[in-house]
Structure 1
C-alpha cells in the first residue's frame, strides 16, 4: 500500500484473525449449543402435549352432515385458519382434537352451519345452533395483525365456548362474514325460543 492510503485501511490490511488452535474446545461449545437447542425444542413439544392432555375432555369435533348443501345461499371464504382459543381469552390456545394446527382453510356458511375444510388438518362442522357470533379482531394465540385483520367466530362445543380465528385471502370479505354469522345466530336463537 502507498503512503497515501488512509491509516485505517493500512491497519485493517495488516490485521489477521487468530487461527483456531483449540479445536476440541470449539467443537465442544458447538455440540453443547446444539444439545441445548434440542433440549429447548423437546421442552416445547412436552408443553404442547401437556396442554393437549389438559384439554382431553373436549368432545370429538362434529363432521359435516350427510345432506350438507354447500351451494345456493352459501357464503364461502378461502384463507388461513390460525387457532382456536377459549372464548374471550385470546392467548388460551386449544390444541386438542387438532384445533391447534395452523392450516389453509375453506369456509362455507349456510343456514345449516359452518363447514371448515382444512387441507392437511382435521376438518370440522359447526351446526348453526352452536354458532354464537362473529367479530373482527386483531389477535388470537400466535397471530397478531392490524385492527380488524382477523375474523373470529365464536361457537359452542360441549360445555365450552370457543373462538376460532381465520384470515381471508381477501380481508375485505371479513365484514360480510361478521354480518352473515350474526344474522344466522339471531335467526337460530329466535327459532330456538
Structure 2
C-alpha cells in the first residue's frame, strides 16, 4: 500500500516536470515569433559539391549556443544530410522541414565541441554561422563519419563570400575602412 503512494508521487512529479518543460517550449515559441522562416530551397540548387550524412543538432542565436531557435522547427534535432551546392547549403532532415542557407547569407564555418545539449569530442561539430533575416544564427551538424568534418568545413568555407557585408567596418572620413 505504501509503495503505491510512492509510485503515485513519483508519477505526479514526472507529470509536473513534463508540463513545465512544455510550458517553457511554448513560451520560447511565443518569444521567437518574429524570427523569419528560412527560405525555401530553390527547385534546382545546382550540382552537389559535397554531401555528408549525420545529425542536425539545432540552430541557435549566434554565439549563444544555449539559446535554441524553436520556431520553424529549427531547434529540433534529427538525422540529416548536409549538401553543399553552388547556391548554398541544404540540410535535408528526416521527418522535419529542409533547412536551406543561401550562399549570400553564409558568414562563417568552424568546428566546435558542442552546442545546446549536444557535446562531443573536441571539434566534433561543424557550426555554420549565417544570417536569418536580421538575426545572426549558428547551425550545428555532426557528420556521421569523423573524416567528413574537414571536407564539409572546406566545402562550406568555399561558398562564403570573401567580404561578407556584416563583417565590414564603417568607412573612416577619409574613405578607408578601419582596421
TM-score (norm 2): 0.87
Equivalences for 1:19-30 in 2 at 5 Å?
A: 23=1, 25-30=2-7
Aligned residue number for residue 19 of structure 1:
none
Aligned residue number for residue 30 of structure 2:
53
TM-score (norm 1): 0.81
2:52 corresponds to which of 45, 53, 77: 77
Distance 2:125 2:10 in 1: 38
Distance 2:164 2:86 in 1: 13
Greater C-alpha radius of gyration: 1
Q: CA deviation at 1:183?
A: 2.2
Aligned residue number for residue 148 of structure 1:
123
Aligned residue number for residue 16 of structure 2:
39
2:89 is equivalent to residue 114 of structure 1: yes
CA root-mean-square deviation: 1.8
Number of aligned residue pairs: give it: 166
Q: CA deviation at 1:145?
A: 0.9
Q: Structure 2 unaligned segments of length 5 or more: list them.
A: 169-179
The structure in which a higher percent of residues are helix is 1
When residues 175 and 88 of structure 1 are mapped into structure 2, their CA distance, relative to the original with a 3 A threshold, is same
